[in-house]
Homo-oligomer: A and B are copies of this chain.
Amino acid sequence: MEFPSKLIEDAVNEVSKLPGIGKKTALRLVLHLLKRDEEQTKSLAETLIAMRSKVKHCRKCHNLSDHDLCGICASHKRDRSLICVVEDTRDVLAIENTAQYKGMYHVLGGIISPVEGVGPSDLKIESLIDRLRHPDSDAVKEIILALSPTMEGDTTAFYLQKKLKGFSVKISTIARGVPIGGDLEYADEVTLGRSILSRITYE
């Protein structure tokens, strides 16, 4: 594609570095900004720079936060005996949106993936073990592994189970089965198979 302007070409190249945005979409976004007030572009740019330079990771759970300690770790209303281990901030958001969980989190910052060159040492696993060794107030009673039901997620869960064996802590994983509201006939075989194996008895 030949651009009418070097400035537009540069902008399109920068925007198309973002995941899931190709050259055509980038051009559409750039042309949109050119149609709008200069203020909008400035505001977008400045907000991104401020966000990138100021956002921190919570020193305890490694979730993204404006402060040293994130809102969840600082809160006194959360159940400190539960730690939910997730891959990244998006998972925390997803679980928080359910309003079903009142415990703490631990954000690994990724999952073990030999293909992408991510090993256990790249993740916040040591700091999870540190949290078990030096519990702040109440002792941690349960660690919930809420990792994606993929090969990488299972590998990470398996590694964590081994690492956490020495501690007197219950380890659980979120249930896998047919999604609620999903038609049974459209569930894939693996999920349906697992949901039969891990069936729940009515009490």
Contact = CB atoms under 8 A, between A and B. Distances in A.
Interface of A: 1-8, 10-11, 14-15, 17-21, 25, 27-34, 38, 40-55, 63-66, 70-72, 88-90, 92-93, 96-97
B49 A41 contact: yes
A8 B51 contact: yes
A40 to B, nearest CB: 7
A20, A43, A46, A52 interface centre (most CB from chain B within 10 Å): A52
Given A14-B47, A49-B42, A90 B55 contact: no
A65 B65 CA distance: 41
Majority secondary structure, A binding face: helix
Given A20-B25, A31-B90, A48 B14 contact: yes
B52 A14 contact: no
Contacts of A63: 4
Contact of A5 (B1, B49, B55): B55
Given A6-B66, A64-B34, A46 B45 contact: yes
Given A17-B40, A18-B33, A20-B28, 7 more contacts: A2-B93, A4-B63, A5-B64, A14-B47, A31-B64, A31-B89, A42-B49
Contacts of A28: 19-20, 90
